[in-house]
Amino acid sequence: MRVCDPFDVDRDVRATVGECLGHLLERRLEEAEAIDPVFAADIADRVARFSLTGGRRLRAAFLWWAMRGCGGGVSETPRALGVAAALELIQTCALIHDDVMDGSPLRRGRPAVHVGIDDQYGTAGRASPCGTFGGAAAVLAGDLALAWADDAFAEAVRGAPAEGRAADVWRAMRTEMVAGQYLDLHGQVTNATSAARAVRSAVLKTARYTVAHPLALGAVLADAPEETVRRLRAAGRSAGLAFQLHDDLRGAFGDPASTGKPVGEDLRDGKATYLLAVARDLCARDRDHAGLRLLDEVVGSPHARAEDVERVLELLDACGARELVSRRVRELCDRGVDEVREAGLSRDAADRIGGLLRAACGPGTAGRPVPVAPTAVRDTAGPVLIGEAR
């Protein structure tokens, strides 16, 4: 990796990480081509293109600014960029596998990897024990991305003073991500509807993986004391949970042109989101049996019509669930920003991380304006208050 001035990286973290990732993937594609040209073209090249196009590089940015805020400089820069590239590859693995598990046709406004492979070979209608040929091949694509991520991480931290500490964070992040995704799937098949269960899944699948662990990795690479790492983890749990809840709102109410996903996909898939759990709790509290029947009939039904999905969205507004979850997002985001400021980072880095958090889960970006709920809904005791990992 070429030597980078950390102040140059500060000016455009996203572009620098993208450049680093591009150099890494060039080498991996050469290796894949030497193994087999069909494998290289169908799988390795797809993984590379997916990783290099789209995405906000949020995890990489959290890692970078935590490293800089803890005093990291020239000697830590190559390691931080290498681990940031590894984070992008593990995100590629997660998204490719997620789309296969959910049967999602789109990702970032383009055909999902499994759809693209089936389109290439005309195998979309030919079922196999693993779904379709495209689905099975996409699982391998995700596996390859994970292997590349592990290789990139190991290369980046080899010989670093904090190699062992960084490896501990990396291992925990990978395992918790898988656990959270499994709880998400388990909730769909068992019809789990509790708010506490939805929070647990969100903490494992997104909050720690997206914010807490990248912040911890950055701090560890700068050899920060454990107290600083602990404070950043706490900030990441709060803000990361806000990020996931905001993503749930965008999944329900967002513009497909912005989200890159079809309207109502989470509803049809029966995702056990906190938004839906809150709606059920509020309908039960208000004895809204018609609302509960509507949720039972539409949520998890792949055959739900567009008008049925729209009725559920109207219910989420009318019962106060959308307003309550939007308020929770703001509260958790504010808490995360405050905790970052108290972690002992440099002021510039803390401000940068706070700005990233607010941009990722700020109010007013989930499609239609959030209506003001009746005072009775806002002031009465609602569903479980989201905190940290409960």
pLDDT, one tens digit per residue, over 186-225 is 888 887 778 888 899 889 988 899 999 999 999 999 999 9
DSSP string, 261-291: S-TTHHHHHT---HHHHHHHHHHHHTT-HHH
Q: What whole-number distance in Å separates Cα of residue 213 and Cα of residue 219? A: 10
3-state secondary structure of 132: coil
Token pair recorded at residue 312 = 């559920």
Specify the pLDDT at position 55: 85
Specify the pLDDT at position 310: 93
Q: Per DSSP, what are the bridge partners of residue 110?
A: 107
Token pair recorded at residue 231 = 């404070």
Mark the ranges of the chain whose per-residue pLDDT is less than 70. 1-3, 257, 259-262, 362-390
Task: Give, in words, the CATH class of 166-390.
Answer: mainly alpha
DSSP string, 27-69: HHHHHHHHH-HHHIIIIIHHHHHHHHSS---HHHHHHHHHHHH
Specify the pLDDT at position 386: 33
Token pair recorded at residue 384 = 């479980």
Q: What whole-number distance in Å separates Cα of residue 342 and Cα of residue 361? A: 20
| Residue 198, C-beta contacts closer than 8 angstroms, at least 6 positions apart | 187, 192, 272, 273, 274, 276, 277
Specify the pLDDT at position 61: 98
Specify the pLDDT at position 363: 52
Neighbour count for residue 52 (Cβ, 10 Å): 15
Using H for helix, E for strand and C for coil, what is the string for 197-265?
A: HHHHHHHHHHHHHHHHHHHHHHHHHCCCCHHHHHHHHHHHHHHHHHHHHHHHHHHHHCCHHHHCCCCCH
pLDDT, one tens digit per residue, over 1-48 is 556 899 999 999 999 999 999 999 999 999 999 999 999 999 999 999
Specify the pLDDT at position 193: 78
Specify the pLDDT at position 191: 79
Q: Fold match between 1-158 and 166-390?
A: yes
| Residue 286, C-beta contacts closer than 8 angstroms, at least 6 positions apart | 319
- Helix (H), strand (E) at residue 107: strand 106-107
Label residue 385 exposed, middle or buried (CB < 10 Å: 0-12, 13-18, 19+).
Answer: exposed
Q: Tell me the pTM.
A: 0.88
Specify the pLDDT at position 341: 94
Is 228:343 a contact under the CB 8 Å cutoff?
yes
For the chain, state the CA radius of gyration.
21
Q: What whole-number distance in Å separates Cα of residue 390 and Cα of residue 332? A: 14
At the topology level, CATH places domain 1-158 in Farnesyl Diphosphate Synthase (1.10.600)
Domain ranges (residues) in the chain: 1-158, 166-390
Token pair recorded at residue 75 = 């000697």
